Amino acid sequence: MKPRVAIFDLTSCDGCQVEILNLEDHLLDILGKIDLVNFRIGKEVKEPGPYDIAIVEGSVSKEEEIEKIKKIRDDSKILIALGTCATHGGLQSNIHFMDENEVKKAAYNDKHPQQTRDIKAEPLSKYVKVDYSIRGCPIDKWDFVKVLKQLLIGKLPKEDNNPVCVECRFNENVCQFEEKGKCLGPMTHGGCNAVCPSNNQPCDGCRGPLEDLNLKAGIRIMKENGVSDEEILKMVRKYTGVDELYNKIEELVKNGNN
Ligand code: SF4
Ligand code: SF4
Ligand code: SF4
Same domain, 12 and 133: yes
Give the model's pLDDT for residue 170: 96
Give the model's pLDDT for residue 68: 98
H/E stretch holding 45:
strand 43-46
Ligand 1 centroid from CA 224, angstroms: 32
Looking at the CA of 191, name the nearest ligand.
Answer: 3
Same domain, 147 and 178: no
Same domain, 109 and 211: no
Same domain, 124 and 187: no
Ligand 2 centroid from CA 184, angstroms: 8
Q: In whole angstroms, what is the distance from residue 257 CA to residue 237 CA? A: 20
Same domain, 18 and 106: yes
Same domain, 144 and 20: yes
Q: In whole angstroms, what is the distance from residue 54 CA to residue 7 CA? A: 6
Looking at the CA of 7, name the nearest ligand.
Answer: 1
Give the model's pLDDT for residue 109: 73
**In Å, how far are 61, 69, 73, 89, 251 from 123, measured between CA atoms?**
9, 11, 14, 4, 23
**Contact present, 127 and 79 (Cβ < 8 Å):** no
Indicate which residue's Cα is closest to atom 6 of ligand 1.
85
Give the model's pLDDT for residue 45: 87
Ligand 2 centroid from CA 175, angstroms: 5
Ligand 3 centroid from CA 7, angstroms: 24
**Domain boundary at 124, 152, 180, which?**
152
Q: Please give the number of the atom of ligand 2 that sits closest to the Cα of 178.
A: 6
Indicate which residue's Cα is closest to atom 2 of ligand 1.
137
Indicate which residue's Cα is closest to atom 8 of ligand 3.
206
The boundaries of the domain holding residue 247 are 164-254
Q: How many domains does the chain have?
A: 2
Neighbouring CB atoms inside 10 A of 13's CB total: 17
Same domain, 147 and 181: no
φ/ψ of 207, rounded to 5, equals -90, 5
Indicate which residue's Cα is closest to atom 4 of ligand 3.
196
Same domain, 137 and 60: yes
State which of 22, 56, 84, 238 you would mutate to test the pocket of ligand 1, scoring each by most atoms of that ligand within 8 A of its C-beta: 84
Q: Please give the number of the atom of ligand 2 that sits closest to the Cα of 186.
A: 8
Is 159 part of any domain? no
Stated pTM of the model:
0.93
Mean pLDDT by groups of 10 residues along the chain of 258 residues = 96 97 89 93 90 98 96 98 98 90 76 66 97 97 94 90 96 94 96 96 97 90 94 95 91 74
